[in-house]
Structure 1
């Protein structure tokens, strides 16, 4: 995915905890940058990932997250996923690869994401 997209790790975790874990998980260097809790906005008791901080055209940005509170400011950019708890057989992200490949060929992700949400 890192070859097709500009992948950014954006987590509500503190950098002192998440950065070392990210080093282990991202052994191929797919993430071009990392944003931590310090880059989130504290809003109504939750840490929200404000995608406008990326400085990118939001028509070309998606957020993949298990917490709807994290994308409160940009729900139309969201690809919701289930929470992951040490299930080594989990394949949700792998199953999404064809969908991500489809997004690579569009100028505006909103239409594709809206269509995907309508499918359920």
Structure 2
């Protein structure tokens, strides 16, 4: 993974300096696939979006389903957190999906595969590289391998594919609202307890 270095040789943070409207807020890092949406190259009945993506000079349609409650979840979280979508997917796929999922730009930042750390064949999201206090950073992800470096910062969620009766994002809202008051989220998020 290429690392940008600042003048003193330390790695440049993945995120820019915090904008004034987010000062005092914690950082909520959200996974994309199987957490907020599910995408398939095979046609599915009634997709929420069809996103064309060029892969090796060929265009492919991704059929995207939104997890139930995702619109309201993003709106609520965007009011109380600095929201970052951090996905192991490539930007040429994830960017157009996020353009459709988040037309109002609730998500402050987008990070893609090139920002992940390749650890034993897994794409790991290293929260210490974001440029935000780790004690103020929460990651919501369906893949425990993604947050193997920071289990105490994780809110595990189940993988979502197409269950129309899923309520996990809606159910998490009160918990995540309460978490904004924590001195250090790692004191609340025990990696051995399922919070969802």
In the superposition, the TM-score normalised over structure 1's length comes to 0.92
Question: Higher strand fraction: Structure 1 or Structure 2?
Answer: 2
Does 1:84 pair with 2:173?
A: no
The Cα RMSD (Å) is: 1.9
Which residue number in structure 2 is paired with residue 17 of structure 1? 93
Larger Rg: 2
Number of residue-to-residue matches in the alignment: 120
TM-fit CA distance, 1:52: 1.4
TM-aligned CA deviation for residue 26 of structure 1: 1.3
2:116 to 4, 26, 40: 40
1:104 to 2:186 alignment: no
| TM-score (normalised: structure 2) | 0.58
Going from structure 1 to structure 2, the CA distance change for 1:118 and 1:34 (only over 3 Å counts) comes to closer
1:15-61 CA-to-partner distances (Å, cap 9, x unmatched) read: 01111011111123221000000100111011000111210101010
Instruction: Provide the secondary structure at the position in 2 that maps to 1:31.
Output: coil
Query: Of Structure 1 and Structure 2, which has the larger fraction of its residues in helix?
Result: 1
The answer (yes or no) to whether the contact 2:151–2:191 under 8 Å persists in 1 is no
Q: Give distance in 2, aligned partners of 1:93 and 1:112.
A: 19
Report the more deviating stretch, 7-16 or 109-118: 109-118
Instruction: Flag the 1:103–1:63 CA change in 2: closer, same or farther, 3 A.
Output: same
Report deviation, 1:89: 2.5
User: Bigger CA drift: 106-115 or 56-65?
Assistant: 106-115
Distance in structure 2 (CA, Å) of the matches to 1:74 and 1:82:
18
Instruction: List alignment gaps of at least 5 residues for structure 1.
Output: none
Distance in 1 of aligned mates of 2:104 and 2:186:
29
CA distance in 1, matches of 2:84, 2:162: 22
Question: Are the structure 2 counterparts of residues 75 and 119 from structure 1 closer, same or farther at C-alpha, using a change threshold of 3 Å?
Answer: closer
Q: Which moved more, 1:60-69 or 1:108-117?
A: 108-117
Deviation at 1:115, TM superposition (A): 9.0
* Residues 14/116 of structure 1: CA separation in 2 closer, same or farther (3 Å cut): same
* Distance (whole Å) between structure 1 residues aligned to residue 195 and residue 104 of structure 2: 33
